[in-house]
Amino acid sequence: MAALVSLTGWLMTVACLVAVVSLVPDIGWAEIGYIVVLCAAPQCAILATRHVRSSMRLHASLPAGVIERHLHGNLDAFSDGLLRPLRSIGTAAADVAVQTGALLIGLINNPSVHVFHCIRATPNHIPVVAHAVTAGRTVTLVESVAWPPGHYHVDLDGRVRCDGFYIGQSVDLLLAAVRYWRAALPRTHRVTALVVVHPTALGPLALPTGLTSEIEWADPETALGRLRGRTAGRLPVSPHVLATLATATVSP
């Protein structure tokens, strides 16, 4: 409705401009410029007012202390389960999530960064995503697993393979979580995922690459650097992101 009203206003502006030019044939370009500015000014004022009101409503809807805090929620509700999109091998998922959570604390030196733990990230809220890192209009869903050494890749069906063998896991639910959050936030926001793979033993560990830009993979040594690259600088807080993530956090 707002877009229709705005379009109607601009059509009326153009109609008025055409009428003035036809009635006053000797009018110059300078005068036309003044008329355009005068006609457009109310529209700009209306749109700016609506933006300010929307921003104020979002800020008012934020739970108390969300902007001031930079660590939100906890991992008490995080657990193992076959419904997890990606699972650790030989190690409890909660223990691995705690290790990754300790890494993420290093990001909050940047006052623009907020880290959320235990996020509902699919329409049925099962399973939860371990972490979400946000700065400005960027959101990164962070999952973590512990896997033995090997050469890992994701096939065209989204299944994870190690040394060519399917390991019973896939990225389908994590991709669904990314797309769910993209739909939940304005189009100007960017949502991706990062999987942190903790090695369970010494040996070469080759991680998946190149299948999709929606999911990246990293070992603990490089994960923090990649996240810092996404959150560098002082970015303005997005009330859309904070309000939505705060609502989706299992344990505030």
How many residues does the structure list for the chain?
252
pLDDT of residue 68: 82
Looking at per-residue pLDDT, the higher value among 238 and 2 belongs to 238
Lowest model confidence (mean pLDDT) among 15-29, 209-223, 236-250 = 15-29
Peptide bond into 127 cis (omega under 30): yes
pLDDT of residue 230: 87
pLDDT band at 56 (very low <50, low <70, confident <90, very high): very low
Q: What's the rounded Cα separation, in Å, for the pair 8 and 242?
A: 34
| Averaged pLDDT of the chain | 80
pLDDT of residue 181: 92
pLDDT band at 2 (very low <50, low <70, confident <90, very high): very low
pLDDT of residue 53: 46
Contact 198, 96 (CB under 8 A): yes
pLDDT of residue 19: 56
Looking at per-residue pLDDT, the higher value among 45 and 181 belongs to 181
